Structure 1
């Protein structure tokens, strides 16, 4: 079973308006509310792929209860550390071909709550074979909190796929215990290294020479519509994807993580694993719902993804 961790979940609220007016009233007819957070998107796609998953993290208040209700409606097994503080809302206003986001920071966790989650996490590891950790840390937790989680997971011999950014990612990469896989994009690589990294293969290869990336078995560098650059141990791959009609790109990176995790769980070959990850990311972008894929289209697009080993 795959354990999908979301430390700072949210209710994602999407407002569609023809024209967004500042300092005025904006009336909304179509509202979409989703149990959100990167790890919950991962869990949702894993379920749609027919694999066993358990969603976990930290939730609180009436918003937290709503998230659990929505997960149960989608038949996503879950077990969260429950706190009294309220979980967060994240609002996206879709207007005139643009997306304006208003993101609450969420609850501030105490030292005791952080320790309580680690205890719960250690208990859950006994029944899973793969872990995904996605998204930001809640306020109150130290920036090296994911380092502790990765160390515990690797110590149990369970592979962990980490999809985060900023200081939380940097702390993990500077630590001795490295995750099994990471999924940065070129912007995140640029921020980590303090230098410009673009979608050029040579640029990415140069960036990945940095010592902080040593010891990571899989590094999947997202290149958006251009596909991905992937390093597996000593081998580099260029993965290209077909053009698609994008409806909602939000959550495509999470769907990519889900596809990678499922293919890894099923012990697929390198080529099949990478193609699966790319296809699930594409399928998410082709649907209106975040963390939603149409598996009926999987085989069609799987055949259109190309994986080329770079000498």
Structure 2
């Protein structure tokens, strides 16, 4: 079983408009509302890959109820810490080929709620084979909170994949106990290092040899249409993908984490792990919905992914 963690989930609301009128009334005929958050996207794709998964994190209020209802409706198991404060909405206004986003920050957790979730987390991962931690932390939790979750996972002998950014990722990498894998994109990678990381093999190899990455088994740097550059142990790989028709790139990184997790959970070889990760990422990009893939296209696009070991 894979445990997919989303500490600050949301209801993602999409408002499509022909034209966005400022300082005026905008009427919307069709509205899309889905349970959102990076870890929930991961879980949806894992479930579509027919792997056992359970979602956890923190939800509250009527918005939290809606998130749970959405997951239940898709038969995705979940066990959240319930709090009184309201979970957040994230609004995307789609207009004239652009996307304007209004993102609520979400609830502020108390110290006691933070402790309560760690206790729940420790119980949940007892029967887990793999843990994914995705996205940002809610307000009120310290930036080293993910480090505590990794410590608990180490104690239980569980592998952890972290897909976060900014200070919370930096804290994870500076901590004594390391995650099993991380998956930054090039922008997050550059932000982490404090300089623009060029997508050149020699530059990427040099950067990934930095001592901050010591002890991490897998580092997958996703590069959009250019595929990914990967460090596994002491080996380096370049992964290339075919040209595809992009419908909605949002959530493709989460789908990549999902495919990566599924293949690792099935104890597949390096090439299959990387090809599975890239394929689920691509398939998400080809769908309008976030965190959705067309499983019928999996083998076709899997065969087009190329994995090359770099000396």
TM-score when normalising by structure 2: 0.99
SS in 2 for 1:67: helix
Look up the match of 2:266. 266
Look up the match of 2:293. 293
After TM superposition, give the deviation of residue 22 of structure 1 in Å: 1.8
How many Å separate the matches in 1 of 2:17 and 2:285? Answer: 20
TM-score when normalising by structure 1: 0.99
After TM superposition, give the deviation of residue 198 of structure 1 in Å: 2.3
Range moving further from structure 2, 194-203 or 251-260: 194-203
Alignment CA distance shift 1:27-1:127 (3 Å): same
- Consecutive aligned runs of 4 or more in structure 1 exceeding 4 Å deviation: none
**Is the aligned partner of 1:128 residue 2:100?**
no
How many Å separate the matches in 2 of 1:112 and 1:63? Answer: 22
**Is the aligned partner of 1:24 residue 2:24?**
yes
Look up the match of 1:252. 252
Look up the match of 1:76. 76
Aligned residues of 1:263 and 1:272 also touching (Cα < 8 A): yes
How many Å separate the matches in 1 of 2:42 and 2:258? Answer: 5
How many Å separate the matches in 2 of 1:98 and 1:199? Answer: 27
How many Å separate the matches in 2 of 1:265 and 1:86? Answer: 34
* Residues 15-164 of structure 1 mapped to structure 2, 5 A cutoff: 15-164=15-164
SS in 1 for 2:11: strand
How many Å separate the matches in 1 of 2:16 and 2:202? Answer: 41
Look up the match of 1:181. 181
Look up the match of 1:12. 12
How many Å separate the matches in 1 of 2:17 and 2:199? Answer: 34
SS in 1 for 2:77: coil
How many Å separate the matches in 1 of 2:210 and 2:15? Answer: 42
* Number of aligned positions between the proteins: 311
Structure 2 residue runs without a partner (length 5+): none
After TM superposition, give the deviation of residue 129 of structure 1 in Å: 0.7
How many Å separate the matches in 2 of 1:183 and 1:80? Answer: 24
How many Å separate the matches in 2 of 1:19 and 1:230? Answer: 42
How many Å separate the matches in 1 of 2:21 and 2:177? Answer: 49
How many Å separate the matches in 2 of 1:239 and 1:100? Answer: 32
How many Å separate the matches in 2 of 1:64 and 1:219? Answer: 33
How many Å separate the matches in 1 of 2:139 and 2:73? Answer: 29
After TM superposition, give the deviation of residue 209 of structure 1 in Å: 2.0
How many Å separate the matches in 2 of 1:99 and 1:205? Answer: 35
Range moving further from structure 2, 274-283 or 195-204: 195-204
Look up the match of 1:217. 217
How many Å separate the matches in 2 of 1:287 and 1:216? Answer: 32
Aligned residues of 1:189 and 1:207 also touching (Cα < 8 A): no
SS in 2 for 1:55: strand
Deviation string 1:122-142 (CA, Å, 9 cap, x unpaired) is 111111110000000000000
